[in-house]
Structure 1
């Protein structure tokens, strides 16, 4: 009997079996619709069929493999990355690859802007990109032949940042960017501090390329030279530079660190490529023009007899599923388009894929293990080992059928540090047939697709919240609230009752220690040939010395990088809610009880105010603009109260009036108004901005925001680092399981968390990275 038909006869359609948030994610992000908005995928089963058919089309027996691919997709057992789900079988000009690292940027202006164009074309098709800016000479270096000094890599990063905003304004899918810089580049200190400037480089994730030599110098408290082109620009203490990296990420959650020597030593393709950047979430270290597609095995879907003494992961089913998934992903390379021909050639030459895991935390709970414990790490490592082993076996068998990847060199490949650690029978199989895919495993963030898969835990992260209340807008505009529960929590309560108390092994990210996070990451990394996107959540009050130790421990335990998140007034705090309710009714009641800061009434305007007027000339406009900012005195402290903007250019009249009235209305209500300047500074004009004061200002409104920020600093309301004197309250990170997260920029609800190195909203599925 056909497996697909047999399944459909015994269960209701998937739409009737999954949570409403999963249905919404499917409808909003992945359901195929015509250009006019008419649904083409009527059910989720139609989406699975569309993907299966598209990826089977390259096979000699497409009907056979379509059936097998459908079965793998069915019930979310295998989750291709979002771009595959949304794009496969649509005949639209999109790439099915999630991530790219762009080419090396030669240190001349023509090359720089040629690469900017390539980045724009890649992001237009929805690809996230990584760039290493270490090849650009430092700020102040002489540019021979033009009697000028170099502006440095950060100035060009500003240009990339503006390009990204422009691409997104044109309606393209959001594509995040990664920027890396070597720890010995002369501009490394400016790179580390870049995000202390409000609004700067907001479309980039930043990571420092940390070498083994640097870590040894930190340990020895030795001198560390900053070098470019063979010239040492200056020398500083390695430990001081390390502490500046740590202090920035302690305060701002960036930059991350990538242990670049380890990445290259353990790369299967060490013999034909050098890596110096990654995709935006860092699970894919890639060479120039490297491309990788992603997919995840849903471990939670493979647990049998959950919450019983006999609970176990079906490892036989896991092995079979991995083999089908590898074939699907290999076929995707041939089925996908590419923004650039160089990316196409690179993908074909190496046939890299990144098969990973999701639902790990749920699977652990379902078999009675507490995430972060040695036993849980042991189980996770065993499952990762099985995925890795099955993937290499499947790829070797594919090589026997379809040929190895073109740059395969048997002696060199088998001598690789990672390949040497494979089981002897797997190495023998590779020796006999070669291997189809140069690298096979990678663990990516799965924020949105894990929500699609009935809200399973994301990637290899712990569960962030067992349940939360989500606000839903009905078609008539009315609002309602619904309880959203984690997949494993919902199964447990379906089995034992809505009032059942969750066992101790149902932990959340807030109840784990940082070293428990690292233990899990290190255990998994031992059986992943690329890298892992993982966020180590740390409490807001963690001492700085203990925070640094997290990174040292990640290095000692063999991780390829480390990303942490410490909630504070700058990065965003965790909102505490009442202890986890036992029922839907209590959940809604608890949500209603969350304390809300009352709105301030406008303060009456005094008869006389102190203020300043600033002159602003924009582009080649003959008329200058004048911005007047008046302040009010409160308890001996000045704060902005109103803004007036005057311009003789009548083209600006209507929006100038609207802008000044809105800003003044916000200022007159008091409270924390520093965000106004930051919001304005992020506004960009698709027609372009201008250079001012050595940096790129993306729009006239952004320039006005800069003046407002400058005024706040001059009056003492805002410190140069971007902190208002009065800091908002930061809740304790040891929040209960109902903690919601930061405010989402799309749905304006609390639900944004950082997991897998990426900000994701659990309310609406918004993601910074997809």
Structure 2
């Protein structure tokens, strides 16, 4: 029996609800539709050949993210782009006025209604005690308005709006912002992150005072000395560790806020000379400038292990096939930028000038188990890093080949990509030579995102993104067709395959590792192993023990900063809170 010959009930249901267009009956129909739609932007003599290439690539495990698979080739008024960041005011103005907020709300509705997830930096909002022509009353009431606007939208199918709220670590409303999602009931359409600077982290380490400041003038008169060199007005000083304790306590209690290490993000950005990044998309894997966006497409790594678990031979990973999948995936995602509908003209202008794409992965943990490697063992991290390096090298090689054919992205400058110490400087020499000669079609090429729905619908519930499996057999609550959520039995793909090979009663070897069985620092170590090979960022939740103390979370967050990660989110299982995933399920 092929591992995908008999689809799990939940996989078939999610496929039908979220991805099948009228007249389609299985995933091959989805692949044909998507392949034909994205090959249509090719010169006419190439279209059939390229469509066949795209179709074959999807059959082998290189798929588009959800918006691509749902909307390509349909008449639905949706976008194929998952990730956006939108500003709250023009860049030349450091304080958002009331009219700016209204325009930003209108822009948010336009993007969300077409299926895009949006991130915002709310740092331009005047603090609750400020006066700047805005009647916002501070950051939190403005986030309330964006959350309400999203909840009032009508969405087709099961996908609802997703947003990210980011606030800088020196904003005077930081404490209220950090505490807002305690209990996980406020802002249900939002994830929340604090953009922390190296200076803030050092102040926490040194137990130093921290200045909260904003470009909106405080209500109460201040001395001239209370104005900073950058023109911001000082509101108050507070112990950095007092702020940090709030962040740590709320992260441990409610899994929010996450941290964005914003200085690391900007220092690593190849386009830092021409853009500033202040926020990310809702899941954090794509740092983006104002109006930035990114199209995503994961590759199922579990499809690339020969002799899984040692059946009929020593397991080995097929790097040659991975390279081929990556090269075709780059072309497919580049075509999405040309073919998609854009919610806003500003997004189209930004995307067409830089052509960001995000080749990603799913099924990493399953692939490691098939290679007989425990997820938290050093050899597993070494293999994961080698896989990521292969993806990086061939993605950049493919982008340069497409640039030779179609031209580089309009703002390309070889100095950005090949400067000493840059991301591109670590590429193999032949790739660097090709970039110097032909340029790059895309400014950024890699983004390791969550892949929940597409992994479920199109990849037999392989492990999500780079995450370890939640469990082997469990219940998953899914809302289909606008109906009440139903709990389905779901089985991890690697677990299913193992028992298909060795029998239903075969005990699992020790290299099968669930998320809760992996130490928090080992989760961080996997992120640290992969991040050097990813030019955007990585979405991953670091699972901590349900009894973890604040001090342990403190240590974990500092370890992530010192490892030069771009961000981190922690999750502490809490049985008192409703969960989408549960060990209790029908007939488990």
Q: CA deviation at 1:425?
A: 2.3
Residues 588-639 of structure 1 show CA distances to partners (whole Å, capped at 9, x for unaligned) of: 76x5xxxxxxxxxxxxxxxxxxxxxxxxxxxxxxxxxxxxxxxxxxxxxxxx
Of 322, 325, 333 in structure 2, the residue corresponding to residue 321 of structure 1 is 325
How far, CA to CA, are the matches of 1:204 and 1:501 in structure 2? 41
Cα distance 1:576–1:529, how it changes in 2: closer, same or farther (>3 A)? Answer: closer
Find out whether 1:535 has 2:541 as its counterpart.
yes
Q: CA deviation at 1:426?
A: 1.7
Q: SS in structure 1 opposite 2:308?
A: coil
Name the counterpart of 2:219.
Answer: none
Q: CA deviation at 1:200?
A: 2.2
**Conservation of the 8 A alpha-carbon contact between 1:124 and 1:172:** no
Q: CA deviation at 1:424?
A: 2.4
Of 9, 15, 21 in structure 2, the residue corresponding to residue 26 of structure 1 is 15
Find out whether 1:511 has 2:517 as its counterpart.
yes
Residues 666-715 of structure 1 show CA distances to partners (whole Å, capped at 9, x for unaligned) of: xxxxxxxxxxxxxxxxxxxxxxxxxxxxxxxxxxxxxxxxxxxxxxxxxx
How far, CA to CA, are the matches of 2:392 and 2:83 in structure 1? 21
Equivalence map 1:190-339=2 (5 Å) = 190-196=176-182, 199-229=185-215, 230-308=232-310, 310-339=314-343
Query: Structure 1 residue runs of 4+, over 6 Å off?
Result: 169-172, 470-473, 573-576
How far, CA to CA, are the matches of 1:294 and 1:155 in structure 2? 32
How far, CA to CA, are the matches of 2:268 and 2:341 in structure 1? 29
Name the counterpart of 1:96.
Answer: 80
Equivalence map 1:205-604=2 (5 Å) = 205-229=191-215, 230-308=232-310, 310-415=314-419, 417-452=422-457, 453-468=459-474, 484-568=490-574, 571-572=577-578, 591=588
How far, CA to CA, are the matches of 2:183 and 2:478 in structure 1? 35
Of 50, 58, 71 in structure 2, the residue corresponding to residue 87 of structure 1 is 71
Q: SS in structure 1 opposite 2:415?
A: helix
TM-score normalised by L of structure 2: 0.90
**Conservation of the 8 A alpha-carbon contact between 1:125 and 1:173:** no
**Conservation of the 8 A alpha-carbon contact between 1:457 and 1:487:** yes
How far, CA to CA, are the matches of 2:16 and 2:193 in structure 1? 35
TM-score normalised by L of structure 1: 0.69
Q: SS in structure 2 opposite 1:247?
A: helix
Q: CA deviation at 1:166?
A: 0.5
**Conservation of the 8 A alpha-carbon contact between 1:253 and 1:571:** no
Q: SS in structure 2 opposite 1:79?
A: coil
Is the radius of gyration larger for structure 1 or structure 2?
1
How far, CA to CA, are the matches of 2:98 and 2:109 in structure 1? 17
Cα distance 1:222–1:459, how it changes in 2: closer, same or farther (>3 A)? Answer: same
Name the counterpart of 1:52.
Answer: 35
Cα distance 1:199–1:508, how it changes in 2: closer, same or farther (>3 A)? Answer: closer
Q: Once superposed, what is the RMSD of the aligned Cα atoms?
A: 2.5
Cα distance 1:561–1:489, how it changes in 2: closer, same or farther (>3 A)? Answer: same
Find out whether 1:165 has 2:165 as its counterpart.
no
Cα distance 1:538–1:389, how it changes in 2: closer, same or farther (>3 A)? Answer: same
How far, CA to CA, are the matches of 1:94 and 1:543 in structure 2? 44
Q: SS in structure 2 opposite 1:372?
A: coil
Q: SS in structure 1 opposite 2:533?
A: coil
Cα distance 1:149–1:492, how it changes in 2: closer, same or farther (>3 A)? Answer: closer
Cα distance 1:198–1:566, how it changes in 2: closer, same or farther (>3 A)? Answer: closer
Cα distance 1:196–1:588, how it changes in 2: closer, same or farther (>3 A)? Answer: closer
Cα distance 1:199–1:542, how it changes in 2: closer, same or farther (>3 A)? Answer: closer
How far, CA to CA, are the matches of 1:56 and 1:23 in structure 2? 27
How far, CA to CA, are the matches of 1:301 and 1:242 in structure 2? 43
